[in-house]
Chain A
Amino acid sequence: QKEVEQNSGPLSVPEGAIASLNCTYSDRVSQSFFWYRQYSGKSPELIMSIYSNGDKEDGRFTAQLNKASQYVSLLIRDSQPSDSATYLCAVNVAGGYQKVTFGIGTKLQVIP
């Protein structure tokens, strides 16, 4: 079982819809969770971090964490074509000090 699992997609949503990106992780003691956005040919860019169960909202983005289910998600409201990118989920590794493990990423396509 991979430490961090994501569906590679592509996930296609129409412009204006809600995009829902999901991530599961295997280590129950993980405490820190991150979502990065990566445009083609560019480097990963941090867009959300979440450390506690529940929801965290930042503009059109909402991160949701459920530690009991080992599940973290990212919702993008009012999706725009400019949101088309690969979204990487990252989770810290227990005992790994500052180390995090990245999922393979989900490619999102927002259709105008």
Chain B
Amino acid sequence: DAGVIQSPRHEVTEMGQEVTLRCKPISGHNSLFWYRQTMMRGLELLIYFNNNVPIDDSGMPEDRFSAKMPNASFSTLKIQPSEPRDSAVYFCASSFSSGHRHNEQFFGPGTRLTVL
């Protein structure tokens, strides 16, 4: 079975440019999470969706960040305009939620973003 798929794997861009990261969750999973990881702050949850609906976006740093999930098999995280402090590894994860149990999340390979 294919795991979580992310693209691109690496992105180098210049400050001020728009960046779009893409994620395809595991088929059948109904929750999707976007994380950012840096050495200083560790793994931070940016936003998560359940059944394509954003549930909690309190981790989104500011208005420059936006995320969408138009259907069950695709999500995007957009940064516009990008800044050097956005440089990090961005992970997408998915899980299947059933009842009240907080289920296991499976991570994609990540996108390493460098903003010059």
Asked if B31 lies at the interface with its beta carbon under 8 angstroms from chain A, I say: yes
A45-B43 Cα distance, complex, nearest whole Å: 13
Number of B residues, CB within 8 Å of A: 23
Closest to A90 in B: B105
Give the tally of cross-chain contacts (CB within 8 A). Answer: 58
Closest to A97 in B: B55
| Chain B residues whose C-beta falls within 8 Å of the C-beta of A49 in the assembled complex | 104
**22 A/B residue pairs, CB under 8 Å, sorted by A:** A31-B101, A31-B102, A43-B91, A43-B108, A43-B109, A44-B43, A44-B91, A44-B107, A46-B104, A46-B105, A46-B106, A49-B104, A92-B102, A97-B50, A97-B97, A98-B31, A98-B55, A99-B48, A99-B102, A100-B105, A103-B42, A104-B42
